[in-house]
Amino acid sequence: MPDLDTRAIHDGEPEPRVEGAVSLPIFQTATYTHDDPDDTVRYVRYNNSPNHEALHEKLASLEGTEDALVTASGMAAISSVLMTLLDAGDHLVAPATLYGGTLDLFDVSGEGPADWEDALTPNTNVLYAETIANPLLGVPDLEAMADFAEAHGLVSVIDSTFASPVNVRPTDLGFDVVLHSGTKYLGGHSDLAAGVVAGSAEHIDQVGYTLKLLGGMLDPQACFLLHRSLKTLGVRVRQQNETAQAVAEALDEHDAVDRALYPGLPSHPDHDRARSLFDGFGGMVSFELVPDASVDGFFDALTLPVRAPSLGGVETLITQPIHTSHKSVDPAVREEMGISERFVRLSVGLEGTEDLVQDLATALDTSRTVE
């Protein structure tokens, strides 16, 4: 099989090229002529324009799955999959540490195999996970989770946004359905919203039907932007892996940081597991300032990171999860999870590594001197 970078550029491209265009044009039309009743109807809500079809093939190739589809956002992907796989009264199991938007969709319990077993009910149909948990960056025992799901006849669903297919392909570990917020690393430029679902042809066909009814399709302009971005996914993510490692090591050594969380750090509780599962540790770094540091002073002193939600872009983004990804989570639950006001999430971009490390260090130094 060709290298991931080769597939990212060439798989899914139309042959022959449309009017010779090297880049796939934007098919900015809502509907298509339908002269033969036996032909498949093309309609933008059905996610089957030439822009959609090229993306689906490329994404399936990157994830190593039979098929894939795109949605209007990551949450559209998550909700469409769960509404497809779960009927009224059905139940799912998942770790307690997940993206706040996902937590809003369902109650979760359990952190290990014994808890998963205890959490099962006669109506349990889905096991849900994240490859790297948001925002604490834990790496669950993914292989054990996939095995558990198979043993109990559950559909295993995993959000792999933080890792991207550059660092791990969850179906290789036994998962059935892979989700992404394409807004993040797959898009990579903070200029689009999209979601991705990848899996077997059967699952994608089922999810596609639900998505068609919900209307959560991706518009052709966003398809074009995502299609463009996927071609540089590998080079972007590998550089972010490298810079994030350097940033995490610097944060781990700074006396204004109480704890630094990054799967690439030997001190990370899941470091050995991450080394065995992943080709790279990702571009997300989380850390907590010491109690006597000024959080506002730290943020005010930064010059390179942009204080904004989301992640995966070429610019470094920084945020406090209590105000963004986990704002809607009950404060007591946040505290139990270990997400305090001093807890910071950093999405490492493509700035020069030394520039970024120095800027963070200067801001951390300032946080200790601000009255």
AA identity, residue 163 = A
- Cα separations in angstroms, 39 against 30, 32, 42, 369: 17, 11, 9, 70
CB count within 10 Å of CB 104 equals 11
For 77-94, how does the pLDDT look when each residue is reduced to its tens digit (9 = 90+)?
Answer: 999 999 999 999 999 998
Query: What integer pLDDT is reported at residue 318 of this predicted model?
Result: 97
Q: What domains does the chain contain, in order, with CATH numbers?
A: 4-230 (3.40.640.10), 234-367 (3.90.1150.10)
| Residue in the block written with tokens 């880049």 | 23
* pLDDT grade for 104, boundaries at 50, 70 and 90: low
Query: What integer pLDDT is reported at residue 110 of this predicted model?
Result: 46
Kindly state the DSSP code that residue 42 receives in the 8-state scheme. P
For 226-266, how does the pLDDT look when each residue is reduced to its tens digit (9 = 90+)?
Answer: 999 999 999 999 999 999 999 999 999 999 999 999 999 99
More confident residue, 152 or 108: 152
Task: Tell me the average pLDDT across 266-270.
Answer: 96
d(CA 344, CA 248): 12
Task: Tell me the average pLDDT across 343-352.
Answer: 97
Nearest CA to 348 out of 322, 313, 298 is that of 313
d(CA 40, CA 49): 11
Query: What integer pLDDT is reported at residue 108 of this predicted model?
Result: 53
**What are the tokens at 89?**
């009264």
Query: What integer pLDDT is reported at residue 332 of this predicted model?
Result: 81
Q: Is the pLDDT of residue 102 over 80?
A: no
d(CA 262, CA 132): 10
Kindly state the DSSP code that residue 329 receives in the 8-state scheme. S
CA-based torsion, 151, 154, 160, 164: positive or negative: positive
Q: Is the pLDDT of residue 126 over 50?
A: yes
Query: What integer pLDDT is reported at residue 117 of this predicted model?
Result: 85
More confident residue, 182 or 100: 182
Nearest CA to 102 out of 69, 72, 73 is that of 73
Instruction: Kindly report which listed range (50-54, 113-117, 214-218, 366-370) carries the lowest average pLDDT score.
Output: 113-117
| Total count of residues recorded for the chain | 371
Q: Which residues contact 69 (CB under 8 A, 6 or more apart)?
A: 47, 52, 56, 196, 197, 204, 207, 208, 211
Q: Is the pLDDT of residue 73 over 50?
A: yes
Task: Tell me the average pLDDT across 127-152.
Answer: 94
CB count within 10 Å of CB 21 equals 9
For 27-46, how does the pLDDT look when each residue is reduced to its tens digit (9 = 90+)?
Answer: 999 999 988 888 889 999 99
Structural contact between residues 231 and 108, judged by C-beta atoms closer than 8 angstroms:
no
Structural contact between residues 179 and 76, judged by C-beta atoms closer than 8 angstroms:
no
d(CA 214, CA 104): 19
Helix (H, G, I), strand (E, B) or coil at 234: helix
| Predicted TM-score (pTM) of this structure | 0.94
Q: Could you please report the per-residue DSSP string of 48-103?
A: -SHHHHHHHHHHHHHHT-SEEEEESSHHHHHHHHHHHH--TT-EEEB-S---HHHH
Q: Is the pLDDT of residue 103 over 70?
A: no
Kindly state the DSSP code that residue 104 receives in the 8-state scheme. H
| Residue in the block written with tokens 């989301």 | 310
Strand 257-261 with 124-130, pairing: unpaired
Average pLDDT over the chain reads 93
* pLDDT grade for 114, boundaries at 50, 70 and 90: low
Helix (H, G, I), strand (E, B) or coil at 321: helix
CB count within 10 Å of CB 141 equals 15
- Cα separations in angstroms, 238 against 55, 232, 243: 22, 10, 9
Q: Is the pLDDT of residue 113 over 70?
A: no
Task: Tell me the average pLDDT across 351-359.
Answer: 98
Q: Is the peptide bond before 269 cis (omega within 30 degrees of 0)?
A: no
Percent of the chain with pLDDT over 70: 96
Q: Is the pLDDT of residue 107 over 90?
A: no
Q: Is the pLDDT of residue 177 over 90?
A: yes
Query: What integer pLDDT is reported at residue 245 of this predicted model?
Result: 98
Percent of the chain with pLDDT over 90: 83
Q: Which residues contact 25 (CB under 8 A, 6 or more apart)?
A: 18, 19
Catalytic residue positions, numbered: 45, 99, 159, 184
Query: What integer pLDDT is reported at residue 223 of this predicted model?
Result: 98
